[in-house]
Amino acid sequence: MATLRSFLFSNAFKTSNWSYLVCRGFRNRCFVITSIPSASGKSFSPIPESILKSKNFSTSSSLLSDEVEKAKGAKQAAEPTIFSKIVDKSIPADIIYEDEQCLAFRDVSPQAPVHFLVIPKSPIPGLSDAQEFSKQLLGHLLLTAKRVAEKEDLSNGYRLVINNGPDGAQSVYHLHIHVLGGRQMSWPPG
């Protein structure tokens, strides 16, 4: 992050095009939201490749394609998912809420300053697999998302996302609600 910050400050006044660069940093990452148009009208990134390839820097389009690629390769399987392992505490997570039906934990690859997941303890592979008898649990997940968002001080608003199936970019087949906040969301979302 220091390398990127020093590059931005040392090069910020070398071209007027820098005013078009929007960089939002959080949790030791920097996300370029807007590309800079060149004189030819094509967009380019004035940031050196060495910085672009660092682990603390990514662009929203590369994050999207990585997640989409993971989702294309993901399959519903009989073995426990990574989320099942978080529920049974066999792998660590930054758990910020837990009750008898669900838990919430911070996303390991946050897409917003505040990004956490709410998951049911009893696994449902995806929203399309939910049954009529699941409606009380589904309501509980939404209310839990609301309560944890309040606890996380997202009073200006937040976005809930449920990815379902390959076209919905679902990469883990254990129903989960993404809660994203702490910045202005854009529209359309995907």
Positions marked active-site: 176
Residues 6+ apart with CB under 8 A from 125: 76, 173, 174, 175
Cα distance between residue 20 and residue 16, in whole Å: 8
Q: Count Cβ atoms within 10 A of the Cβ of residue 128 and give its class: 0-12 exposed, 13-18 middle, 19 or more buried.
A: exposed
Collapsed DSSP state (helix, strand, coil) of residue 51: helix
Residues in the chain: 190
Q: Phi/psi at 54 (nearest 5 deg)?
A: -70, 155
Residues 6+ apart with CB under 8 A from 85: 91
Cα distance between residue 8 and residue 15, in whole Å: 12
Instruction: Output the 3-class SS for 133-162.
Output: HHHHHHHHHHHHHHHHHHHCCCCCCEEEEC
Cα distance between residue 51 and residue 28, in whole Å: 13
